[in-house]
Amino acid sequence: MKHPLAELYDGHDEIQAEIDRRFASQPAPDAPGKPAADAPAGTVERHHPKRLRLVVGEIRAETADTRTYRLRREDGQPLPPFLAGQYVNVFTDGTSRPYAIASSPSWHVEYYELTVRRVPKGRISNLLIDTLAVGDRLTTTGPMGTFHHNPLFHGDDLVFLAGGSGVAPAMSMLRAIAEQGRDAACRIHLVYGSRHADDVIFRDELAAIAATHPDRVRVDHVIGGLLTAETINELTGPLRGRMVYICGPQAMYPYALEQLTLLGHPRRRIRFEANGAPARPEAQPHWPAGADGAEQVTVTACGTRFRTPRNRPLLDALEDQGIRPEAACRSGECGMCVVRVVSGETHTAEEGRLRMADERFGYTHSCVAYPLTDVEIEV
C-alpha cells in the first residue's frame, strides 16, 4: 500500500532496485577468494560496511506515536559494533533518514533498536510507523556519527538534556551502564523533557536503571515545561567540569545553548547531536537580506534542469529528481553528500562543517546547502 505522504515520490521500485544493485555489488566479507575476515580489508568491511540489509524482528509500541524497531542482520551474523550515541541511516522511499541506535552497544551486537516518533507531516517517520511490519527488510548504513561518549575528551561525569525522541542515544548510554554495572566508565544525569506525561518514552526502564544504579544514573523528567537555566540548575546542581549532551527537536538547541550560557557553562563542554537541516534557513544571520526563501530558482545537475524554492535543501531537491548523492547525517556533519557548485551562488547553513579546502574549491554539503541563484551542480 502506498503511504499518502509518499505521493510526491513515485519511482520507489526503481530506487529500491538501484539500492539493491549497489548492495549486491559490494563484496561479501567472507566470500571465497576474499581476504580472511581478520585481514585488514575484511575487518574494515565487517566494521564499517557501507550498507546493511536488516530484517525487522520485533516492533514495540512505546507511546501512542512512537515505535521501537528491533533490526537483525538478514544472514543472522553479528552486526558491526557501535558506540552508544551513534546512528544508522535508513534508506526508504527514495531518500534516507538517520536514526539513533537506542539499544546497548556490546561486543557481540545481535540487533540494533531504532526508536521512531511520528513527526507531524514527516515523510519517513509516518511511512515507517504506518507500514513497517515484522519480517520486512530495510537497508541502512553501518553505525556512524560522532555524538558518543569519549572518556578521554569528555570525562566521566555527564549531563544529558533530552527532548522527545532525542532520548534514544541517552537510552543506549544508560543501557550500557546497566549492562556493565560497577565497571561502567561514567555517571549520567538525564534531564528528559516531554510535552505530556503520556509522551515519555522508556519511562519504566529509565526508572529501573536509575533505581538499580543510583551511584551512576539519575533521571529527572520535566513535563510540559522548558528546560530553563533555573530548572537545569535546580536539577543538576553545578555543571562545572561536566560535559552536557543535548539531543532533541531543532528548536531546543539554540534555547538550551542560551540557558547553559546563562549558567556560565562553556560552549566547549556542550555537545549537540546533529538533527537535520535548519527548518528556516532564511532566519540564519548570513542568509542574504531580501532573498525570498519561497522564490524558485533553476538547478542544473547530471544533465537535468529543474526549479526548486531557495529554501529547500539541495539534497532534497536533487532526490526529488531521482538524483541521489550519497548521504548519511543529513545535518551538515558527515560530509557524505558533498557536491561542487560549478556556477551560481548557494547558502551553506551554519550546520555545514565545511573544510577550508571545500570552500576554496567550491564544494558544499548538499543536505544543508540552498540555491540562492540559478546554479549548476556537479554531483
Residues that bind ligand FES (CB under 6 A): 327-330, 332-337, 365, 367
Query: Please, which residue, 68 or 366, has the CB nearer to ligand FES?
Result: 366
Residue 368, Cα to own-chain centre: how many angstroms? 14
Integer Cα distance of 367 and 352 in angstroms: 8
Whole-angstrom distance, CA of residue 95 vs CA of residue 315: 9
**Shortest Cβ distance from residue 363 to ligand FES (Å)?**
11
- Looking at the Cβ atoms of 161 and 329, the one nearer to ligand FES is 329
User: Given the complex with ligand FES, which of 222 and 334 has the nearer CB atom?
Assistant: 334
Q: Is 3 exposed, middle or buried (0-12, 13-18, 19+ CB in 10 A)?
A: middle
- Least separation, in Å, of the C-beta of 327 and ligand FES? 4
For residue 113, which of 68, 146, 80 has the smallest C-alpha distance?
Answer: 68
**Least Å from the CB of residue 334 to ligand FES:** 3
Q: Which is nearer to ligand FES, 94 or 332 (CB)?
A: 332
Show the CA angle centred on residue 256, arms to residues 96 and 67, nearest 5°.
Answer: 40
Q: How far is the CB of 326 from ligand FES (least distance, A)?
A: 8
Supply the minimum distance, in Å, between the C-beta of residue 271 and ligand FES: 17
Beta carbon nearer to ligand FES, 88 or 327: 327
Q: Which residue has the cell 561536566?
A: 242
CB of 124 to ligand FES, least distance (A): 14
Q: How far is the CB of 273 from ligand FES (least distance, A)?
A: 13
